[in-house]
Amino acid sequence: MPLPIRLVLLRPRNAENLGAAARAMKNCGLSEWTWVRPEAEELSPARRLAVHAEDVLEASGRADTLDAAVADCVWVVGTSSRKVEGKRRLSPRAVAEEMVQRAAQGPVALVFGDERSGLTNAEVERCHDLSAVPTAPEQPSINLAQAVLLYAYEIRMATLAASPPPAAPLPVAATDTELALVESALEDALVTGGFLVDEQSRGRTGLRDLFAPLRRSRLTRKEAKLWLAALHTLAKRLRSGNRGG
Amino acid sequence: MPLPIRLVLLRPRNAENLGAAARAMKNCGLSEWTWVRPEAEELSPARRLAVHAEDVLEASGRADTLDAAVADCVWVVGTSSRKVEGKRRLSPRAVAEEMVQRAAQGPVALVFGDERSGLTNAEVERCHDLSAVPTAPEQPSINLAQAVLLYAYEIRMATLAASPPPAAPLPVAATDTELALVESALEDALVTGGFLVDEQSRGRTGLRDLFAPLRRSRLTRKEAKLWLAALHTLAKRLRSGNRGG
């Protein structure tokens, strides 16, 4: 059974890239991918480049938002060369090795931005960790299909190298949706409690820095539920205190 | 100074592959290549795909025979999935690591066959060792430019590993004492907020499970200070609410 490793392509513009990416995925034994609002309409150039991977091309999922594309994922890695405090910057090889392990807990996603501008700041924030191909400084920009190939190749190498899974079952990991609920509850408690005063400026940065370690730590489902319950209780008590005071 | 690692392309037929290969080489810090009797005549599609690697494209060497292309090389590896007695079959990773080492002794060459039939039997014999990308059995055939990219990428990874760049300074980690302060502040807020009701039994277990992910995530000092400030603010507000209510 193939591992639940999903490639997510945001706003892909170029049909030839989609075809070459499909071929590369099939070369490396991957078949699950989702296109978020694809801008490439005419798919015949994609079919020409897919060669014997038309099945992968036809089986692409569609989503309207990155959130929807990764809602069920236990780990979401964005491909971007940006540095963001609180998020790890992993090599493609390290991402592949960790994905093959984590895919035992649930679906994992690797997110690629569009050919022109890559991931937006909000999308970078949305990902749990980041990764970039260590390209040469003379030519840092890499073609989308070639980036897909490199990650798919590393995933194949890691899959081939992977030892049999550990006998002890891993704890159930929180999904991306469950993480987002915890983050909202944290924001609610901090705003109600008067710690985040200006949601537009300092507020969002503070929330991001506070939430980063929880995102990094790969919450289990049990921990996520406990945090949610704790934060709801605090927010409720704060609200009643606000009214009483 | 770049390592003397040379890619040799035998009878390349498709100009787009040459352009994509040039871009991939430059992405990975390679620039030396030789085309043996190229069949792609019109190079404008190559220029379109080379993007910012026109210099690599223009600088390709030409040779009439494989012998001439590798005459000065101390090691010649052919890319082919054939098995030949007396020659090693190396993974792309193993080839790259050995090439980076052997290039200290003199030029080394990696040979790619044409898009249609690959290396001839005589060419396979001519090479010192062989290598193939471990593609999935469902789609074993890989595009020429994509094969060039994978080997170039492995050569870049091996080069970087041979001369690691200075590591970026790590953020200052919170000390164990700072962590204990955050844990106390969390306990204080949760007890004041009525979430931890029984400090003797359920309370400690709940606190431990809530704190576990923060401990796991290796908080930075900055994050620890922020959590401390947030939890102090909430506890203070909860206390004044308790008094007011």
How confident is the model at residue B245, as a pLDDT? 46
Taking the Cβ of residue A84 and every Cβ of chain B, the question of whether any pair is shorter than 8 Å is answered with no
Q: Burial code of B53-70, b = ≥16 C-beta within 10 A, e = fewer? A: bbebbeebeebeebeebb
CA-based nearest residue to A74, from A220, A187, A183: A220
Taking the Cβ of residue A171 and every Cβ of chain B, the question of whether any pair is shorter than 8 Å is answered with no
Q: Contacts of residue A219 in chain B, CB cutoff 8 Å? A: 213
Q: What is the DSSP letter of B164?
A: P
Taking the Cβ of residue B242 and every Cβ of chain A, the question of whether any pair is shorter than 8 Å is answered with yes
Instruction: State the Cα–Cα distance between residues A187 and A77, nearest whole angstrom.
Output: 23
CB-based contact A92:A192 (threshold 8 Å): no
Instruction: State the Cα–Cα distance between residues B15 and B57, nearest whole angstrom.
Output: 10
Taking the Cβ of residue A135 and every Cβ of chain B, the question of whether any pair is shorter than 8 Å is answered with yes
Closest CA of chain A from B135, distance in Å: 5
In chain A, where the domains are located: 5-161, 176-244
Q: What single-letter amino acid sits at B98?
A: E
Distances A243 to A75, A154, B232, B235, B237 between C-alpha atoms, Å: 40, 56, 20, 17, 12
How confident is the model at residue B177, as a pLDDT? 85
Instruction: State the Cα–Cα distance between residues A63 and A61, nearest whole angstrom.
Output: 7
How confident is the model at residue B41, as a pLDDT? 76
Q: Contacts of residue B51 in chain A, CB cutoff 8 Å? A: 141, 143
Average pLDDT of chain A to the nearest whole number: 90
Burial class of B2 by CB neighbour count within 10 A (0 to 12, 13 to 18, 19+): exposed
Closest CA of chain A from B64, distance in Å: 30
Banded model confidence at residue A209, pLDDT cuts 50, 70, 90 = confident
pLDDT tens readout for residues A131-168: 999 999 999 999 999 999 999 999 999 999 986 655 56
CB contact under 8 A, A153 and B171: no
Instruction: State the Cα–Cα distance between residues B60 and B32, nearest whole angstrom.
Output: 7
Question: Which numeric CATH code is attached to B5-162?
Answer: 3.40.1280.10
Least confident segment among A45-54, A105-114, B142-151 = A45-54
- With both helix axes pointing from N to C terminus, report the angle between A176-192 and A221-244 in degrees, rounded to the nearest 10: 20
* Bridge partners (DSSP) listed for residue B97: none
**What average pLDDT score do residues A46-58 get?**
91
How confident is the model at residue A168, as a pLDDT? 61
One digit per residue, pLDDT tens: chain B, 245 residues?
A: 688 999 999 999 999 999 999 999 999 999 999 999 999 878 888 888 888 899 999 999 999 999 999 999 999 999 999 988 888 999 999 999 999 999 988 899 999 999 999 999 999 999 999 999 999 999 999 999 999 999 999 999 999 998 776 666 777 888 878 888 999 999 999 999 989 875 554 556 788 888 888 888 878 899 999 999 999 999 999 998 776 54
CB contact under 8 A, A233 and B146: no
Per residue, the 3-state secondary structure of chain A, as one string, reads CCCCEEEEEECCCCHHHHHHHHHHHHHCCCCCEEEECCCCCCCHHHHHHHCCCHHHHHCCEEECCHHHHHCCCCEEEEECCCCCCCCCEECHHHHHHHHHHHCCCCCEEEEECECCCECCHHHHHHCCEEECCCCCCCCCCCCHHHHHHHHHHHHHHHHHHCCCCCCCCCCCECCHHHHHHHHHHHHHHHHHCCCCCCHHHHHHHHHHHHHHHHHHCCCEHHHHHHHHHHHHHHHHHHHHHHHHC
Q: Contacts of residue A156 in chain B, CB cutoff 8 Å? A: 134-136
Q: What single-letter amino acid sits at A14?
A: N
CB-based contact A209:B226 (threshold 8 Å): yes
Least confident segment among A90-104, A189-203, B27-41 = A189-203
CB contact under 8 A, B193 and A233: yes
Residue located via tokens 């789609």: B139
Instruction: State the Cα–Cα distance between residues A28 and B142, nearest whole angstrom.
Output: 10
What stretches of B86-175 show up as alpha helix (H) in DSSP? Answer: 92-102, 121-126, 144-162
Instruction: Compute the residue count for chain B.
Output: 245
CA-based nearest residue to B183, from B210, B202, B201, B203: B210
How confident is the model at residue B129, as a pLDDT? 93
Q: Chain B interface, mutation test: which of A51, A149, A208, most B Cβ atoms within 10 Å?
A: A149
Taking the Cβ of residue A185 and every Cβ of chain B, the question of whether any pair is shorter than 8 Å is answered with no
CB-based contact A74:A107 (threshold 8 Å): yes
How confident is the model at residue B168, as a pLDDT? 67
* Bridge partners (DSSP) listed for residue B75: B108
CB-based contact A34:A6 (threshold 8 Å): yes
Is the ipTM, as predicted for this complex, more than 0.95? no
Question: Which numeric CATH code is attached to A5-161?
Answer: 3.40.1280.10
User: In 10 A of CB B105, how many CB atoms?
Assistant: 10
CA-based nearest residue to A196, from B61, B179, B233, B4: B233
Taking the Cβ of residue B209 and every Cβ of chain A, the question of whether any pair is shorter than 8 Å is answered with yes
For strands B108-112 and B5-10, give the pairing. Answer: parallel
CB contact under 8 A, A210 and B195: no
Q: Which two tokens stand for residue A117?
A: 């501008």
- Percentage of residues of chain A with pLDDT beyond 90: 68
CB contact under 8 A, A234 and B160: no
Greater confidence (A204 vs B175) lies with B175
Q: Which of B133, B149, B233 sits opposite A194 (nearest CB)?
A: B233
CB contact under 8 A, A226 and B219: no
CB-based contact B40:B11 (threshold 8 Å): no
Phi, psi of B220 (to 5 degrees): -80, 165
Distances B79 to A41, A197, B83, B95, B197 between C-alpha atoms, Å: 36, 62, 11, 10, 68
CB contact under 8 A, A233 and B26: no
How confident is the model at residue A245, as a pLDDT? 45
How confident is the model at residue B45, as a pLDDT? 87
**What average pLDDT score do residues A108-114 get?**
97
CB contact under 8 A, A222 and B209: yes
